[in-house]
Amino acid sequence: MKRWDTFKALTRDIDGIHRPLIALGLFKLWNLVFGLIPLFLYSFLVNRVLVDKNLNELWPVIAGYLAVFLLTTIGIAVSKRFSNQLILKYDVRMKNRLLKKYISLDRDVYGTYSIGDVKSRIENDAAVAGRFFTTHLLDFAYAVVYAVALAVILLCYDWRIALLSFIFVPVSLVTVNFLGVKAKKAGEELWKLQIKYESFLHANFQNWKDVKTNNLEEAQLAELNGHYKKIRPLWFLNQLYLHFGITYSFFTKNFITQLFIYFIGGLFVIKGYSEVGVLLVFISFYGQFFGFIESISNSMMNYKSDSVNIEKVIGILNLESGKRPYKKIDGTDLNVEHLTFTYEGNDSFTLDGISFSVSKGEHLAIVGESGSGKSTLAKLLTGQLKPQGGTVSVGGIDIYSVSSESVSDKVSIVTQEPVLFNMTIRDNLLLAKPDATEAELIGCCRRARIYDYIDTLQDKLDTVIGEKGVKLSGGQRQRLSIARAFLQDRDIIIFDESTSALDNENESDIITELKSLSSGKTMISIAHRLSTILDCDQVMVLKAGRVVAFGTHTSLHNRNEAYDLLFRSQYMAG
């Protein structure tokens, strides 16, 4: 992308960027003006003081240098403040916008991005995008304007030497641009490998207990080395192109061009086409000029390299969010009609033609063998997945036509693997209800049969439970998740194997609480244990993604083969 297109894409819908950017641009102009003055002072020194041997003219030169130094220092100090303000402000706002964009994506779209991808774009790529304004926009524009100004001055001093020396400029820029394209291509491949590497690390850190339990350390180290072997040559290739470009610019500036100027300039002085004083000033100006040509070349190289990261950020910003309107759902009746769903890459349907209804105050149990589609159905009922066909409606409103906020305000889910964060017990509970009182927190924990344990802890509710609740047992994590559901107090509550890690006594106590909770609420229990659903109003049996039985426990027991097979296997296993 061209720099201007990148600028427009990175500043779209982000406020507060233009003001510090304009201020920085003005200070760049300030530094440009006071950066040119020393060159004219040098010219004055050579021609008026050294050539004309006028010592009295030396004092204005010294005073001029001191004034320029003071004013330039002030400009640099103040511009640094605006530069830091711009970078910090943009970094925060860009990361905030990226997070909002990811959150607003449809779940099926979001699911196409790996953890490493999301992490890289928000942390690494956003930081590179933040540097674009100072490094690739202002500094680049400053170098171009300064180089043009010096080129005009050089033409005024001696247009013949200037025109001859300018032939190195396009050669340098074309060569560097070619190397930059090569560096970008290698950078693209490197980015993809690093994403896989980031995802690998995240998976290992998240599942380190499973790795140790199953003695997978050697296998994981071997896979880690495999990532390194793929990344290393591409990283070296990318850096090689970058260093070739920078070294070429440096060599052109400090050897070829200066040697050429000395040779041509010396011939011009010997032949009488120019004077020694003019040549000395020209060489000084030309050194400054090609220094900025080198800066432009380096900027071209670095921009090609950084554009890999910047384009990843812009790619997310340009995604259609698919955000649906927020609408308050008043009813609590749940209706599912002809629901079909299959996972990507799977030819057969995971769920095929599912239809059922649950009215306000009813408790539906959904049972079935492992792989029958129970948990997939739970995700569909909460809008986490989008079906290929059919509808899920609450209070007569299709949940896929409204925002996820609309659905989560009405429906909550407690899963077999609770979502807990490396925060205190209190903070994990407050995620469900930020304004909950101390009494409410303790009350929901008592109902979930976990407060007696919390009360034994030194910090009580303020105990940090570790990543994914690692400091708690499986049953404690489930009880804490159930406590959060009690606190959330939604009209429709789905329990997906949420008591599987509890013993029979605790399970029985919590089921009693669920019954008291269910008054006026719609509840669905997805369970492998049939003992948890014996007193439910209705039971639905799933098999291979289809409904094979629907009714009460009494109406199905000893009357439906599919249900009896599950029932007998449960108690025989016990």
Question: Which pLDDT tens digit goes with each residue over 202-261?
Answer: 777 767 666 766 777 778 788 888 888 888 888 888 888 877 777 777 777 666 666 677
Mean model confidence pLDDT for the chain: 78
What is residue 569's predicted lDDT score, i.e. its pLDDT? 61
Residue 124: Cβ-neighbour burial (10 angstroms; 0-12, 13-18, 19+): middle
Closest Cα partner for 289 from 269, 312, 261, 322? 261
- Contact between 333 and 520 under an 8 Å Cβ cutoff? The reply is no
Tell me 352's DSSP state: E
What angle do the packed helices 18-44 and 276-317 form, to 10 degrees? 170
What is residue 284's predicted lDDT score, i.e. its pLDDT? 74
In this prediction the pTM is: 0.61
Contact residues for 96 (Cβ-Cβ < 8 A; gap 6+): none
**Multiple choice CATH, 93-317, 3.40.50.1000, 1.20.1560.10, 3.40.50.1370, 2.30.42.10:** 1.20.1560.10
Q: Is 334-573 in the same CATH topology as 93-317?
A: no
| Range 503-524 average pLDDT | 64
| Long-range own/partner contacts, residues 63-70 (CB < 8 A, 24 or more apart) | 64/37, 64/38, 65/38, 65/41, 68/34, 68/37, 68/38, 68/41
Task: Round to whole Å and give the CA distance between 173 and 171.
Answer: 6
What is residue 409's predicted lDDT score, i.e. its pLDDT? 82
Q: Rounded to an integer, what is the distance from CA 322 to the centroid of its chain? A: 18
In this structure, what are the phi and psi dihedrals at residue 351, rounded to the nearest 5 degrees? -125, 135
**Multiple choice CATH, 334-573, 3.40.50.300, 3.40.980.10, 3.40.50.1970, 3.40.50.12280:** 3.40.50.300
| Range 440-448 average pLDDT | 88
Residue-wise pLDDT for 35-58, tens only, equals 777 777 777 777 777 766 777 777
Retrieve residue 3's tokens.
Answer: 């720099």
Report which residue type is found at 501.
Answer: A
Tally the residues of the chain: 574
Whether 574 shows a pLDDT value over 50: the answer reads no
Residue with tokens 């014996």: 534
Residue ranges per structural domain of the chain: 93-317, 334-573
At residue 345 the predicted structure's pLDDT band, cuts being 50, 70 and 90, is: low
Written as one string, the DSSP assignment of 150-197 is HHHHHHHHHHHHHHHHTTHHHHHHHHHHHHHHHHHHHHHHHHHHHHHH
What is residue 12's predicted lDDT score, i.e. its pLDDT? 78
Residue-wise pLDDT for 478-495, tens only, equals 888 888 888 888 888 888
- Contact between 85 and 17 under an 8 Å Cβ cutoff? The reply is no
CB atoms within 10 A of CB 160: 12
- Contact between 483 and 445 under an 8 Å Cβ cutoff? The reply is yes
